[in-house]
Amino acid sequence: MIPRYSLPEMAALFTDEARLGMWLEVELLAVEGWAEFGDVPVEAAKEIRERAPAVDGAFVAAVAEREKVTDHDVAAFVDVVQEAVGGPEGSWVHYGLTSSDVVDTALCATLVRAADLLLEASDALVSVLKRRAAELIDTPMAGRTHGMQAEPTTFGAKLALWCLQADRDRSRLGAARRAVAVGKLSGAVGTYSNIDPRVERYVCDALGLEPVPATQVIARDRHAELLYACASVGATVEMIATEVRHLARSEVGEVEEAFGVGQKGSSAMPHKRNPVLSERLVGLARVLRGNLQPALEDVALWHERDISHSSVERVILPDSCLLGYYLLRKAAGLVDGLVVHADRMRATLVEGSLGLVFSQSVLLALVSSGMTRDAAYRVVQRDARVAWEQRRQLRTVLEEDPEVRLGAAALDDAFSLSGALRHVHRFLEALQEVEG
């Protein structure tokens, strides 16, 4: 992922130094596991740990140089580590292991750490959505369906629904973390032919992983589950950002992104305050969603393993974690700083809609007065069209219609904003179960 969309705490997990450092830790733990069960001299294991190389830029460069000869990254890595440790102890490095034992276990340990960051960021998004939902639950606005004004709602209700969805994303991330918190050191084709299962358990316990049955590689449905959780996060953030973009349009003007001191919305038009963050989040969600397809295609490998998944994962796993984390962090900031124009929302709802948003309430009042539903529907539909074309309030048109036999009190009830929103706090009740 390019630096522009990489936040440092997540990016640090996917550097070459971090990757090879995790490989080294798996190798060292494996030697110590062998020593624990009497197959490797304890002193040799101690010497290997003490003489293990520092995984820095020079080490990464040395492995890359060696790989030019081996054309195999793990073999090159083992060669460089054994040379740094020296003999005879260095010969115990990679004892009984196959490459996937090291790579897959190290990768899962890294993905667990990435998932922890994603969950932390998810917590922040849920928290800010919950807080702002409570803050704005009584801020009325026009609800829209098909892009058209429909009935009254509140901005807080909208935020509450976003919060509930973000909380479901958080649950999916938690489940995905559990799915990838596994390891395997069971050798070629996974039958423990040259390694003691107790060594696998020793290494996994040290890394906070659960040893699982596997072929030569850990099953890739686990990795796909994590990428689905990330894609789901992207879809939620895209939903929020798309709504912000719509409501920020000049013709609507009900919300706007926070605008910093010195910020410029356009290089040419000084008046512009474009929803650039929301647009960026929508675009990046597309990239994130696109990574799910190859993750699912990685599940089907030949026999006990091939490496068709390897090149794919070098791209999509770091990028998905980085993008998911970026989207969550930026979405939380977007919601936290969102400027809400409550007066514009109310004006659009009350005056701008000409009262058409109360058409269903009028329909039901007419039905209650004795009209058939179809007849009532036709009357309200006709008067609504008159109101819209003549730019008059629907209530006025209804009052002039001899077919509408509703008194002032009945019309007051039908056009009551508080009546339409009397149950809106149901949304906050649902949020009581949400942690954050």
Hey, what are 228's tokens?
């689905």
pLDDT at position 1 is 77
124 vs 331: CA distance, rounded Å: 10
Q: Where in the chain is the domain with CATH 1.10.275.10?
A: 1-95
Which listed residue (171, 193, 266, 369) is catalytic? 266
- 303 belongs to the catalytic site: no
Residue 281: its pLDDT value, please?
98
| pLDDT at residue number 436 | 86
What's the pLDDT tens digit per position in 61-107? 999 999 999 999 999 999 999 999 998 999 999 999 999 999 999 99
CATH number of 346-431: 1.10.40.30
DSSP 8-state secondary structure symbol assigned to residue 150: E
**pTM of the predicted model as reported, rounded to 2 decimal places:** 0.96
Span 150-198, pLDDT tens digits: 999 999 999 999 999 999 999 999 999 999 999 999 999 999 999 999 9
Kind and range of the H or E run holding 386: helix 373-390
Residue from 146, 267, 303, 311 carrying the catalytic annotation: 146
> Is the CATH code 1.10.275.10 the one for domain 1-95?
yes
End-to-end CA distance of the chain: 30
Q: How far is CA 320 from CA 10, 229, 288, 297, 327, in A?
A: 11, 10, 6, 16, 10
Looking at residue 5, its pLDDT comes to: 96
294 vs 309: CA distance, rounded Å: 9
CATH 1.20.200.10 intervals, the chain: 99-140+151-181+217-343
Give the pLDDT of residue 387.
97
Helix, strand or coil, per DSSP, at residue 432: coil
Q: How many CB atoms lie within 10 A of CB 29?
A: 22
C-alpha torsion sign, points 190, 195, 200, 206: negative
423 is catalytic: no
pLDDT below 50 — which residues of the chain?
none
CATH of 99-140+151-181+217-343, one of 3.40.50.1980, 3.30.450.40, 1.20.200.10, 3.40.50.720: 1.20.200.10
Range list for CATH 1.10.40.30 in the chain: 346-431
